[in-house]
Structure 1
Amino acid sequence: MPSYPPLTRLALAVFAAGSFVVSPIASTDEHEPAWAQGRAAELGNSPLSPHAIPLTITPEEDIPLDHLRMPDGFSAEIWAHGMPGARMMALGDEGTLFVGTRGIGRVYAVMDNGDEREHTVLAEGLTQPNGIAFHDGSLYVAAINRIFRYDDIESHLAQGEDIPEPEELTEAFGLPDDEHHGWKFLAFGPDDRLYVPVGAPCNGCEVDPDTHATIHSFEADGSDMRIEARGVRNTVGFDFHPETSELWFTDNNQDWIGEHGPGDELNRLGEPGEHFGFPVCHSVGIIDPELGDTGACDDKTPPAAVTDPHSAPLGMRFYTGEMFPEEYRNAIFIARRGSWNRTLSVGYDVLVAKLSEDGLRADLSPFMVGLLDTRENSFSGRPVDVLQMPDGALLVSDEQNGAIYRISYEPPDYVE
């Protein structure tokens, strides 16, 4: 087996210690919600289920800023708030921050006026418009069943004009509209192509390898589709290495196999078309109990790092700024939304992944914590995305509180 970093080795050790239990999969009930698919018959009365996200504004005084803890020298402030369901972020050329959502169906535009930020609802009534990207002056928005392009959007916002109807690109991209894992993440690569994931339309099932559980790329107009990666169950965050241009992405592994496995993943795409295992192989060499056979993992690409099962690593970005200490240069910050499919919660934080010297693996460690109270097994916030600002500060979106934090750094003054 390849040499893995400490957190990955820990995950494997826990798995091997017997804390992983495979149960027979319950028969599919068409009346059950999608998240319950694959739940064992004996778990039919399990209290585990996804946590509801507030769809109303969280007052600023109720946002748990004082809960946040980071390494010495780092501090956090509330950069923007009042945006229920705030998730994925994209920065415009003129400094406008665009924010996607899921359940509330909105896209926000946040204008920075110096000492304060003002936001407006750019679009609403969409079906889970999670995916947003900004490119060549245009904002791209991906809902589950539609894709739009808003041209010259910052100019209209700056002048206080009504936003023109966007250009609809749905037919050009031709993506499936399954709701289960159908919310999108968008990013333009160094090749100026738009990268779009298509999640598995299930918890665990056989899929068409040319359609689902894939990462596609397109020309900006939706033409020339290519499949970049296969066997990717549900990625909701990726970025490109600032030096090698390699695609790195998070992936959320299968529910209901066990509370302590399989671990969620950070992956590196070495060559176009690589297969990352779903649905027959999970995490590091874990053969699916229902769909996998002996040797199912032999030709699959293992993750670069494995994190806690069900912790929901989502948005991630390479850090290239100069504000943070040198040790963070070209490291990856990863927002973990937090678990629901395990009794003792994990996640609700931001990790930092520092790459190995050969650039093939990563060590994961905590960076921003405090939103999870392990004593009470409760949480007060859910980080979903991270974004580097031009000054080197890091923004973190909190879906639970509809807020965006700004993390900055100043060298601490040590008393001798």
Structure 2
Amino acid sequence: MKPIAKISIALSLGITLLSFGCEQEQKTEAQTFKTPNSSNKRSIKDAKAEVQLDKIQLPENFNIEVWAADIPNAREMALTEEGVLFVGSRQEGNVYAVIDEDGDGKADTKFVLAEGLRMPNGVAFKDGDLYVAEVSRILRFNDILNNLGNPKYEVVYDDYPTESHHGWKFIAFGPDDLLYIPVGAPCNICKSEDEIFASITRLDVTDPNASPEIVAHGVRNSVGFDWDPNSGDLWFTDNGRDMMGDDIPNCELNHVSEAGQHFGYPYWHEGTVKDPEFGDQGGPASDYIAPAAKMGPHVAPLGINFYEGEMFPADYQNRAFIAKHGSWNRSKKSGYVVTSIEINGGNASNEKDFISGWLDEASQEAWGRPVDFELMKDGSMLISDDMAGVIYRVSYAASN
């Protein structure tokens, strides 16, 4: 096994201080980005959001507002230094660029960069280029900030599996400059002959002859991961299997300390629950990496983000935020919240609800579902919601 690349603590802290040193109320040139008119440019300044923010519950002195509306099926996000937010979608098949052009603290412009793609859930930005993950392909929009009005893409890699079941992808560049790309299991529960299924891979997008390297095996369906800024280790969420009842198994938060580790699927779930169909085909539970934390049954944890800003109170510095998208087939719904969890080395503990209120417990009706996070320069947090089709901004202001 090859160790996952580590991030220099000093470098990470330096970047953090440089990137998030702005006061909340300040506006800088990096927070506005002017663009010319084009046929794919839309004004969203007056877009209406069908949300119920009065039902949202947050810790004291935190505030949530709609930063951008009319972003249908908003899923993974990628934010540039210039303040341009790229947003993928799963059901819509579109990729967007969302911008606050007038610097008033809310987005007013949307570019439709692509339409009709196959589940372009994943987006990542590096060295001026936008990367988009379809089910079987990785696309690159070169020099995208200078081509928002005339976006064109090339295919970087087109040999991922074509199966649509768990085929949508979350992508991100790691500290090793490789693009990390999960490949979900093509089923609820099965054992695939091709080991690329139920994995997290990484790809060198600069190599025209590159092929994916598997970083983690036994991963049923990860739609979110991030790297600990202190250790450089990879942490990922994983959605547990269905059809074992309301309360089994738990979804998982996992920690990768070495490339090539196996996290149990399809043999074991939540570390200790043997699969009734495939459990006897694998080794004992001790052969696999147990989850660092159990997330709850069927909560569908998606995005995870280590907080590295300076706006939130200091005790959030060692915590990661997790978007629990919400259950789809549980008799009493679970999830539909954002939580935070403390990370120390390889340990995760003290999980707490951070945002709730998207689900009405009495009626069991939900009006929103959180997906992914990005941190703005001032340390505030953007959260995508694919059900409401909006991007929220969460900020903190200490009381006087």
TM surpasses 0.5: yes
Residue 361 (1) aligns with residue 352 (2): no
The aligned residue for residue 358 of structure 2 is 371
Contact 2:89 2:120 survives alignment (8 Å): yes
Instruction: Determine the structure 1 residue equivalent to 2:139.
Output: 148
Give the superposition deviation at 1:59: 6.2
Aligned residue in 2 for 1:87: 75
Residue 268 of structure 1 is matched in structure 2 by: 255
Shift of 1:405: 0.4
Matched, 1:65 2:56: no
SS of residue in 2 equivalent to 1:327: helix
Distance 1:214 1:243 in 2: 25
Classify the secondary structure of the residue corresponding to 2:54: helix
Which residue of 181, 206, 213 maps to 2:198? Answer: 213
Cα distance in 2 between the residues matched to 1:110 and 1:59:
13
In the alignment, what sits opposite 1:315? 303
Contact persistence 2:183–2:199 (CA under 8 A)? yes
Give the drift of 1:184. 0.7
Query: Structure 1 pair 281/225, CA: closer, same or farther in 2 (3 Å)?
Result: same
Q: Structure 1 residues 167 and 342, CA, compared in 2 at 3 Å: closer, same or farther?
A: same
Match of 2:323 in 1: 335
Q: What is the CA distance between 1:209 and its match in structure 2?
A: 6.0
Taking the aligned partners of 2:206 and 2:62, their CA distance within structure 1 comes to 41
Question: What are the within-5 Å matches in structure 2 for residues 31-180 of structure 1?
Answer: 60=48, 62-113=50-101, 114-115=103-104, 116-117=106-107, 118-157=109-148, 161-163=149-151, 165-171=152-158, 174-180=159-165
Match of 1:407 in 2: 394
Q: Does 1:292 align with 2:279?
A: yes
Residue pair 1:397, 1:404 contacting (<8 A) in 2 also? yes
What residue in structure 2 maps to residue 302 of structure 1?
290
Candidates 346, 361, 377, aligned match of 2:334: 346
Q: In structure 1, what is the Cα distance between the partners aligned to 2:285 and 2:192?
A: 17
Determine the C-alpha separation between the residues in 1 that align with 2:194 and 2:396. Answer: 44
How far off is 1:388 after superposition?
Answer: 1.2
SS in 2 for 1:87: strand
Structure 1 segments (4+ residues) deviating >6 Å: none
**Matched AA of 1:238:** F
Q: Is the 8 A contact 1:229 1:274 kept in 2?
A: yes
Give the aligned partner of residue 184 of structure 1: 169
Distance 1:218 1:330 in 2: 29
Displacement of 1:145 in angstroms is 2.6
Match 2:189 to one of 201, 204, 207 = 204
Equivalent AA in structure 2 for residue 153 of structure 1: I
What letter matches 1:392 in structure 2? Answer: G
CA contact under 8 A between 1:65 and 1:76: conserved in structure 2?
A: yes
Q: Which amino acid aligns with 1:260?
A: D
Q: Which residue of the partner structure matches residue 397 of structure 1?
A: 384
Instruction: Name 2:40's counterpart in structure 1.
Output: none
Q: Post-superposition shift, 1:216? A: 0.5
| Conservation of the 8 A alpha-carbon contact between 1:146 and 1:169 | yes
The answer to whether the 8 A contact 2:321-2:339 is kept is yes
TM-score w.r.t. the length of structure 2 is 0.84
Structure-2 residue corresponding to 1:380 = 367
Give unmatched runs, 5+ long, in structure 1.
Answer: 1-57
Q: Which structure 2 segments of 5+ residues have no match?
A: 1-45
Change (3 A) 1:291 1:285: same
Structure-1-length-normalised TM-score: 0.81
Q: 2: CA distance between counterparts of 1:176 and 1:122?
A: 24
Instruction: Name the SS for the 1:272 alignment partner.
Output: coil
Tell me if the contact between 1:355 and 1:362 (Cα under 8 Å) persists in the aligned partners.
yes
Comparing both structures, which one devotes a greater share of its residues to strand?
Answer: 2
Deviations 1:221-249 (A, max 9, x none): 36153211000000000001102110000
Q: Which whole-Å deviations, capped at 9, do the CAs of 1:245-287 have from their partners, x for residues lacking one? A: 1000000000011111100011000111110000000003110
Residue by residue over 1:155-186, the C-alpha shift from the partner in whole angstroms, topping out at 9 and shown as x without a partner, is 223xxx422x2111233xx2111100010111
Q: 1:192, 1:220 within 8 Å by CA — same for their partners in 2? A: no
Counterpart code for 2:70: G
Does the residue aligned with 2:266 lie in a helix, a strand or coil? coil
Letter in 2 for 1:350: V
Secondary structure (helix, strand or coil) at the match of 1:66 reads: helix
Deviation at 1:210, TM superposition (A): 2.5
1:124-166 deviation line (CA, Å, top 9, x unaligned): 1011100110011100001113221001101223xxx422x21
Whole-angstrom distance in 1 between the partners of 2:55 and 2:215? 39
Secondary structure of the residue aligned to 1:365 is strand
Which amino acid counterpart does residue 146 of structure 1 have in structure 2? R
